[in-house]
Structure 1
Amino acid sequence: MDRVTPWRQLVHGLGPAIGPGSLREALRAGLGAAIGLAVTGLFLLSPEADLRLGLYLIAPFGASSVLLFAAPNSPLAQPWSALVGNMAAAAVGVAVCLSVSDPVWRIALAVGLTIVATITLRAVHPPAGAVAMTAAMNPEAVAKLGFGFVLAPVGLGTLALIVVAVIYARATGRHYPFRQFSDPGPHGTADPAPSERLGLSHDELTAILQNYRQSLNLGVEDLARLIGAAELQAAAHRSGPLTVQAIMSRDLVTVGPDTPLDEVADLFRDHDFTSIPVVEAGDKYLGVIFQLDLIRRAGEDAFRYEGGFAPAMSRLIRRDGEAPDAGAIMRRDVPQSRPDTPVGALLPLLSDGGCHAVPVLNRGRIIGIVTQTDLIAALARQSLRPT
């Protein structure tokens, strides 16, 4: 057994502490920051802007952009932390700048008091220290602007970054601001997602974060999500060697992409299915239609044409050349599985309510499907077996 020496610990500690990131995410964050700063510059830059002092598009905005666009789930990046933290730092910086003449003490006090203020206001935002330092290092400009520096550029610039971050996150499939523990669940009810129903209250989760001094790095919602994911992963280990091939439904009822929706509706009714795979010649997998897709599409049509739901459903499945076919409403982004995939790997996919069935593929051909019912039955059988 290799002995871990202090030297090896030191070398290991100098390595990256952040997990590997994808190039796609890096480009997403970088583009967002560029857009955010460009929009902020449109608000703040003017022919009269003193770019030499950098007080209108200040350097701390770059640091704020890193948090808002690259780490939008961090508590340090949330709107309250960013806006209140930066503005409180600006106010502290201006006050110290106007009352302390020595540059060393001015800078030290501005940053130190900013830390005290932002912790007290529950608005810790690392770039706020740079905001205070920017004010302390530019006494002439601060004397000219006074406490107006708090509103512009700091307040207005930070608010512009936040607005762009909210819009950009929604447009690129991310959550910002991050979800709160008390936010509605995925179905719009007070119940959290199934994987996050831990039996732990908000106060208990908060106490865990505080005990481990992680309240600045992790939100309560994120902690609940991570604990739920860890529990599902542990349950997957306990499911043993059981594979998807052993529990999947094999006698499949499928439709082609050009199948009329009235036939699809008949299949749902006749077989009491909630999902039907869409294939082309040779059982080549294309996607899945969920029963919910028909209901949702009819609801959208009812809203679009200002009619009732029943007429919209009738119009959706009629055969008059106008109704969409199966290929028009199928989902292509459904998670997929291989026959030798462990059953436990499907737990996080089928337990959060976002996916109701996982197609099983072999070289692009569908050979089975695992529904939530299949998974529950398999786990029930496993629980009855003697250990």
Structure 2
Amino acid sequence: MKLKHFFNELRLMIGYTVNSTSHAEKLISALGGFLGIACVFWLTSLVVNAGILDQPSSILVIASMGASAVLLFAVPHGALSQPWALVGGHLISGLIGISCFKLFGDTFVIAGLAVGLAIAAMYYLHCIHPPGGATALTVVMGGATINELGYHYLLIPVAINVAVILLFSVLFNAFFAWRRYPAHFAHKFKKSVSVKPSDRQFELTHEDFAAAMQELDSYVDITPEGLSDLLELAKQHAEKNITHPSEIIAGHMYSNGKLGSLWSIRQIVDASPTDSQPHRDKVIYKVLAGDGGYQTGICLRSEFHQWARFEVIKHNQQWIKVEADE
């Protein structure tokens, strides 16, 4: 049990999380990345080979486009994946990298300076895009061919690459209604389920989340609209079952329905006969996840019933609420 607890703590510490996306979604993301990068290579080579712009054909795609493809096709609704983040992140970081090289050379200190300045610029200009840091590094340490191009490097390949992958991601994700890109499209055309405010136990607002995010003081990779959609879906799930389970049954699993560090999943290992006297009607449980992980305990059935918000099952490595009529 201690070993299992150790590995659970290790999983949490290294940030290993369960990915609940379907196999179809994973394959769509992979296909988008494949076609996106192929399209970037193809269209950039057409521009270069046609002589429209006098650039060496050896430089067609910047390596950081691969990282951008991961964001645009695997996380199309992430804040780091949106058009301004993509365009501003690459072009501004590239501009900073080239300027640092021209002013100070290509030492490892200058490479670090370019990346650091790129991060600061992306923060203040609201266009954080992690591959932008790779773009800044590439133009400082990319070798003679890139260095000789100077600011022309921003046009080809950087600007052309960015324009092509941006356009392709809009077109590709448009074929899948739930993946529409930019994220605003997915939010704008999404069918909403209206719920009367009077039917809810509480109402969290967009302003509440904004205040919480400000207090957290750490960048969260989700757009405000995406956060609102997630909040609305969470509310609708919460409204499906607001009562405690009708009975506590041995072998079944229950959640306390709390958030954050207070959340916990318990399974009934053994229980007294249902006809036991109230003061002897006890249950033995073990904690499967969350607060008190892998510990065991014993309490009155009535106490456990008060603790349990609803019954759960595990599906695709996620804890799912059991509907009241199941």
TM-score by length of 2: 0.64
Residue 208, structure 1, aligned to residue 212, structure 2:
yes
- 1:140–1:217 Cα change, 3 Å: same
In structure 1, runs of 5+ residues without a counterpart are: 243-340, 346-387
| Residues 335-379 of structure 1 deviation map (CA, whole Å, 9 limit, x = unaligned) | xxxxxx84689xxxxxxxxxxxxxxxxxxxxxxxxxxxxxxxxxx
In structure 2, runs of 5+ residues without a counterpart are: 50-54, 247-321
2:75 matched to which residue of 1? 71
| Residues 313-340 of structure 1 deviation map (CA, whole Å, 9 limit, x = unaligned) | xxxxxxxxxxxxxxxxxxxxxxxxxxxx
Q: Which residue, 170, 176, 187 being the options, matches 1:172?
A: 176
- The separation in 1 between residues aligned to 2:40 and 2:69, in whole angstroms, is 11
1:135 matched to which residue of 2? 139
Residue 151, structure 1, aligned to residue 155, structure 2:
yes
- Say which SS state the counterpart of residue 129 (structure 2) adopts: coil
1:25 matched to which residue of 2? 25
Say if 1:196 and 1:225, in contact at 8 Å, map to a contact too: no
Compute the displacement of 1:145 (Å): 1.6
Residue 122, structure 1, aligned to residue 122, structure 2:
no
Residue 39, structure 1, aligned to residue 36, structure 2:
no
- 1:107–1:18 Cα change, 3 Å: farther
1:252 matched to which residue of 2? none
Say if 2:106 and 2:140, in contact at 8 Å, map to a contact too: no
Say if 1:107 and 1:133, in contact at 8 Å, map to a contact too: yes
Q: Which residue, 82, 96, 102 being the options, matches 1:92?
A: 96
Say if 2:91 and 2:154, in contact at 8 Å, map to a contact too: yes
- The separation in 1 between residues aligned to 2:124 and 2:193, in whole angstroms, is 32
Say if 2:67 and 2:131, in contact at 8 Å, map to a contact too: yes
| Residues 172-204 of structure 1 deviation map (CA, whole Å, 9 limit, x = unaligned) | 2312111289x75657xxxx7526989665444
- 1:16–1:39 Cα change, 3 Å: same
Compute the displacement of 1:22 (Å): 2.5
2:13 matched to which residue of 1? 13
Aligned AA for 1:40?
V
- 1:71–1:195 Cα change, 3 Å: farther
Aligned AA for 1:147?
Y
- Say which SS state the counterpart of residue 125 (structure 1) adopts: coil
Say if 1:196 and 1:224, in contact at 8 Å, map to a contact too: no
Matches within 5 A, 1:1-387: 9-14=9-14, 16-45=16-45, 46=48, 49-51=56-58, 55-173=59-177, 174-179=179-184, 184=188, 186=190, 194=194, 202-213=206-217, 215-238=219-242, 342=323
Say if 2:140 and 2:147, in contact at 8 Å, map to a contact too: no
Q: How many residues align?
A: 239
- Say which SS state the counterpart of residue 183 (structure 2) adopts: coil
- The separation in 2 between residues aligned to 1:3 and 1:28, in whole angstroms, is 38
Say if 1:169 and 1:175, in contact at 8 Å, map to a contact too: yes
Compute the displacement of 1:93 (Å): 0.7
Say if 1:239 and 1:344, in contact at 8 Å, map to a contact too: no
1:323 matched to which residue of 2? none
- The separation in 2 between residues aligned to 1:49 and 1:196, in whole angstroms, is 62
Say if 1:237 and 1:344, in contact at 8 Å, map to a contact too: no
Say if 1:26 and 1:70, in contact at 8 Å, map to a contact too: yes
- 1:122–1:195 Cα change, 3 Å: farther
- 1:212–1:196 Cα change, 3 Å: farther
- The separation in 1 between residues aligned to 2:5 and 2:149, in whole angstroms, is 56
Give the number of the structure whose residues are more often strand, by fraction. 2
- The separation in 2 between residues aligned to 1:175 and 1:79, in whole angstroms, is 13
Aligned AA for 2:183?
F
Aligned AA for 1:23?
H
Compute the displacement of 1:91 (Å): 0.3
- The separation in 1 between residues aligned to 2:196 and 2:100, in whole angstroms, is 46
- 1:344–1:163 Cα change, 3 Å: farther
- 1:200–1:104 Cα change, 3 Å: same
- 1:193–1:222 Cα change, 3 Å: farther
Larger Rg: 1
- The separation in 2 between residues aligned to 1:236 and 1:2, in whole angstroms, is 36
Aligned AA for 1:10?
L
- The separation in 2 between residues aligned to 1:50 and 1:343, in whole angstroms, is 64
TM-score by length of 1: 0.54
Aligned AA for 2:181?
Y
Say if 2:106 and 2:141, in contact at 8 Å, map to a contact too: no
Say if 1:196 and 1:228, in contact at 8 Å, map to a contact too: no
Give identity over the alignment, percent: 26
